[in-house]
Structure 1
Amino acid sequence: MFTIIAAASENNALGKNNELVWHLPNDFKRFKALTTNHYIIMGRKTFESFPKPLPNRTHIIITRQKNYSAPEGCIIVDNLKKAINLCPKNQENFIIGGGEIYKQSMEIADKIELTRVHTKVDADTFFPEIDKNEWNLIATESHPKDEKHAFDFTYLTYIKK
């Protein structure tokens, strides 16, 4: 099973200059809770946006760069199909970005865990449109802004029809 996990604004913005454009501590906690002890697939730029590999997860990094060097324990492949083939078939695996990897993954994903950040921001990376003819929204959980969260946000769970 493959789950896309992302946080995107109302205009589908994901980030700018390889950085997130908001800080949502509760979303980070949810991301950690969902992805810990699972395989996570990401593009090279997403991987490079982390200060170090995320603990207790198997990283599969997609890059076209030859001889790309990553820390021990990270797996390097040159396309999404190879990444998918390396994942365990009997458990949930996560696709964590970036924009191009999300776009390529929409056809193969079974589920989307999207944090919709209720703002519109300037960005250079975007989440693909979710086709309502292909996806059913099965759960929502709203969170108002507070002293730790500058924006209202909603967790949205979709499954493929």
Structure 2
Amino acid sequence: ALADLGASINLIPLSIWKKLGLPELISTRMTLELVNLANCTPAGIARDVFVPVGKFTSPSDFVIVDYESDPRVPLILGRPLLRSARALIDVHGEEMILLLKPLSSSPIPVEDSDSFLEKSETSLSLPEYETFIDHTEETNSGSTTTHVDYSQT
């Protein structure tokens, strides 16, 4: 799974949704603008998909989009699910920690946990995925403009 810190929705490719056998999709008129500025119309919304996070199970809504997914990144988790998992994300350090209990004194790093998403007994569950893919993009927030003092000329 990929964590998208800017997304307020969770995404699953249509091919994965079909394999999971989730209940019927709710139709939507939503249009998504992708990073490459292309517009995409979702196939629908899957409501209340139970996602196990550690020892807890959280119901989350997923937008189902027909796109070719990278097998290493079958879903994209947005802020709502990351918030319910109490995720602490160090983007620079490429580390994510889940606080599985409120005010836990021992946070569990994702790479040390059994899995972020586990298979559950219910038919409305997502399959097991071991860890997040490392995806980094280096940016520079410094100014690229130079300031010239014209009063000296």
The two structures have a TM-score, normalised by structure 2, of 0.28
Rg (Cα) greater in structure: 2
Structure with the bigger percentage of helix: 1
Structure with the bigger percentage of strand: 1
The two structures have a TM-score, normalised by structure 1, of 0.27
